[in-house]
Amino acid sequence: MYYTRPLFTIRRWLLGAAAAVLGPGAAAVADAQQPSTARQLLDGYVAEALTANLTLAQRSAALARANAGVREANGRFLPTVGLNARYSEFSGVVNIGDFINPAYAALNQLIGESRFPTNVNATLPFRQETKLELIQPLFNDALFGARAAARAQRDLAGATRKGAMRQLAADVQQAWLGYASTVRAVETLEATLPLLDENVRVSERLIGAGQATPDVLLRARAERSELLQQIEEARRQRDGARRGFNLLRNRDTDEAITLADDSTLISVDSLSRSALLAHALTHREELAQAGSGISMARAQQRIATAGYLPNVTLAASYGVQGDRYRFNSRNDVGLASLVMSWNAFNGGQDAARREQANATRTEAEYRRREAERAIALQVGNAYDAVQSALSTLTTASDRLASAERAFSFVQRRFAEGLATPVEFLSARAAFTSAAINQIITRFTFATRVVELERAAALRALPN
C-alpha cells in the first residue's frame, strides 16, 4: 500500500527513541552536561544538599545551642566574680548619732575637755556600699549531674543532626530518581505521538479511498487523545518532581537538573543480610539518640540523688562602705564565709524526682531495644525489596523485547493490509506499556537500593 514506507519510517524512529531511553548504552537527555556515572552525580547533589538544605541548617543550629549548653554547665564549676555598688538617700531611718552625740557631750562636760566628738552622723544601712564578691562552689553534686545532662543533650542533638543528614541524602537521591524516571516516561510517550499522528492520517486516507469505515478514524483519534492525556500528566509529574528536588537543594524550583546514563544507575553492594544488619546496628543514628536518652536519664538520677547531699560554697567579698566614699584602711571591709546547706526534709520531693529519673531511664532503655528491632526490620525489608526488584529487571527487559518484536510483526502485517487497526493499536499500546514498565522497574530498583543504603547506614556522612 502507499502508506507502507511512512509507517516503517515512524516505527524505526520510535524504536530508536525507545532504545535511546532504555538501552544499556544510551546517552540520557539532560538539562546540562552529564557526568560519567549516576553515582558521581548523586554524590555531588547530596553534598550540595547537605550544605544548603534549610531543615538541616536548623539541626545544625540546634547542635550549636547544645554545645553552648555544655559550656554553660562547665562554667558553673568556676568561680563567679561580680562588682556590686550601692549609694542611697535616706528619709526616716535611724541615725546612731542621735543617741551617741548627747552622751559624748555629757562626758566632755564632766571632764572639762572636748575629747569625744559630738557630731557623729551614722545611719544603718550605710549610705554607700561598694564591694567585689567571689563565689566558688566547693561541693555540689547536682552540678555534675547538670553537666552530664548537657553533654547528653549535645550528643542527642548531634545524633539527630546526623540522622537528618542520612535521611536527606536518601531523599535527595530518591527525588532525583523520581525526576529522572518521569523525564524518561515523557520521552517515551512523546516518541509514540508521531506514530499515532501518522495513524490518524492513514485512517483518513483509507476512508477517503473507501477502504475503511469511519470507526477506524474515530478509534485512531481516540487513541491519540488518550496518549496526549498521558503525556500531559507525565509532564505535570516531571515538573512537580523537579520542583521537589530543587527544594531539597534550596535552589530555585525551575533550575535545570542534570541526568545521567541509565546504565550507570546505582548498583547493589555485595553484602549479606547479616553484614548489613551488623553495620546498621553500629552506625544508625537512632541508636545513638536512644543512647543519649539513657545518658540523660542517668544524669537526672544524679541530680535527684544530689538532693540527699550537702552543698558547700566559699563566698568572699572586699570593698568599702560608709556615709561617703573614703578609700583607706578604716573604711575597707572584707568578708570570707564557708557556707554549707543541707536539705533535711522537703516533703519527699527528692525521692519523687529520683523515682521519676529511674522510670525515665527504664523508658529510654526500652526505646533503644525497640529501635534495634525496628532497624532490623527495616534492613530486612529493604534487602528483600532490592532482591525482588533485581529479579524483575530481566523480566521487564524480556517483556519489552517481546512487545517490540510483536509490534514489529503486527506493523508489517498492518502495512500489508493483513492486520486490523485494532490489532495495530493494541500492539502499539503493549509496546509503549512495556517501555514505560522497564523505566519504572529500573528506577524502582535504584530507589530500593537507596533505601537499603539508608537502612543499613552505608553512606559515610561528613561531620
Q: How far is CA 425 from CA 208, 215, 224, 411, 420, in A?
A: 20, 13, 10, 9, 9
pLDDT of residue 29: 33
pLDDT of residue 416: 74
Name residues of the chain where pLDDT drops below 50.
1-35
Protein fold of 4-79+140-309+345-455:
Outer membrane efflux proteins (OEP) (1.20.1600)
pLDDT the model gives residue 386: 93
- 339 forms beta bridges with 313
**Residue 268 pLDDT:** 67
- The helix or strand, by DSSP H or E, that contains position 81, with its residue range, turns out to be strand 80-87
Report which secondary-structure segment, H or E, holds 49: helix 38-52
- Alpha-carbon distance 277 to 284, whole Å? 10
372 HSE (CA, 13 A, CB side)? 10
- Residue 1 is predicted with a pLDDT of 33
Coil, strand or helix at 17: helix
pLDDT recorded at residue 36: 55
Alpha-carbon distance of 40 to 264, in angstroms, equals 10
E strand segments, 142-184: none
Cell of 291: 543512647
Burial 256-293 (b: 16+ CB within 10 A, else e): ebbbbbbebbbeeeeeeeeebbebbbebbbbbbbbbbb
* Gyration radius of the chain over CA positions: 41
The CB-side HSE value for 128 (13 A sphere, CA atoms) comes to 14
- How many angstroms separate the CA atoms of 241 and 235, rounded? 10
| 311-322/128-139 β-pairing | antiparallel
The domain locations on the chain are 4-79+140-309+345-455, 89-124
Q: What are phi and psi of 284, to 5 degrees?
A: -70, 135
Query: By the 8 A CB rule, do 386 and 168 touch?
Result: no
316 beta partners = 134, 336
Give the 3-state DSSP-derived string for 127-150, with helices as H, strands as E and coil as C. Answer: CEEEEEEEEEEEECHHHHHHHHHH
pLDDT tens digits, residue range 235-253? 999 999 999 999 999 999 9
What is the distance between the terminal CA atoms of the chain, rounded to a whole angstrom?
70
Question: Which cell goes with 217?
Answer: 478514524
Which residues neighbour 286 within 8 Å (Cβ) at sequence distance 6 or greater?
Answer: 159, 163, 371, 374, 375
Max CA pair span of the chain:
154
- Report the C-alpha gap between 188 and 415 in whole angstroms: 23
